[in-house]
Structure formats: C-alpha cells, structure tokens
Homo-oligomer: A and B are copies of this chain.
Amino acid sequence: MADLKLPRPTDKELEILQILWRQGPSNVRTVNEALNLAKPGEVGYTTTLKLMQIMHDKGLLTRSKSGKTHIYKTLVSEGDAQNQLVDKLIDKAFQGSALKLVMQALGNRKSTASDLNEIRDFLDQLEKGK
C-alpha cells in the first residue's frame, strides 16, 4: 500500500475514501448511497461518479469492470492518509510539534477516564518498544 501522496485530499475525496475504507471495494451507486446517508444534502449520482473518476485519474483509486459497472478500490490505506493529514496539521498549525497537537487535542475536549488510561498504556508500550 505504502506511500502514495494524496496531494490535497479535498473534503469530498476524504468522504469517499472513508466510505471505501469501511465498505471495501464498491461501485458508484453504493458509494453514492452511503454519501447521502451520512449527510443531509443530496448528492447527485453523476456527481459522485465524476468525483470517483477524478480520483481514479489522480491515482487515488483503481477500478475493475464487473459486468457493466466499475468496482473501485482505494490505493491509500486509512492509516497512511491519517498520518499525512496529521503531519500536515502539525506542520501548518503546531510549529512542527506533535506534542503540542496532542496536548491541545486532549486539553480542550472531554475525555473519559478509560480513554486517558488507554493513552497511558499506549505510552508505556511506546517506551518498552525502544
């Protein structure tokens, strides 16, 4: 899967990627339905089609023909995409400091005690793993 760069994943592109990550390879219709379920405003079928065609042109998706329809698959893993987005945010808004982002993310919203404990465990594992 590796290191494909999503140059500037747009909002809609991200939504479509999310759907494909969850549903696995899908045709346009399925994606369009999921898109409309998630959000209030309707999105036309051809709009979704066009978006996915563009993503295919950009190399974000592959497709294969199954009968008359195309089945699309993502070429980026969710983790890779998340990492790139986090990197970008750290760079653009947190002076390159992951620590600052983490503190901001934790500080300004309510976390449950079990969430906090989960992070503690995670920190322990990180240090062990060295």
Q: Which residues of A contact B (CB under 8 A)?
A: 11, 14-15, 18, 79, 81-83, 85-87, 89-90, 92-94, 98-99, 101-109, 111, 113, 115-116, 118-120, 122-123, 126-127
Contacts and interface: CB of A to CB of B under 8 A. Distances in A.
B94 A82 contact: yes
A126 B116 contact: yes
A85 B92 CA distance: 10
A116 B123 contact: yes
A52 to B, nearest CB: 18
Contacts of A104: 79, 82-83, 86
Given A101-B105, A120-B120, A92 B126 contact: no
A111 B94 CA distance: 15
A107 B126 contact: yes
B92 A98 contact: no
A115 B14 CA distance: 31
A83 B83 CA distance: 18
B93 A85 contact: yes
Given A113-B127, A126-B111, A127-B113, A119 B102 contact: yes
A115 B93 contact: no
A84 to B, nearest CB: 10
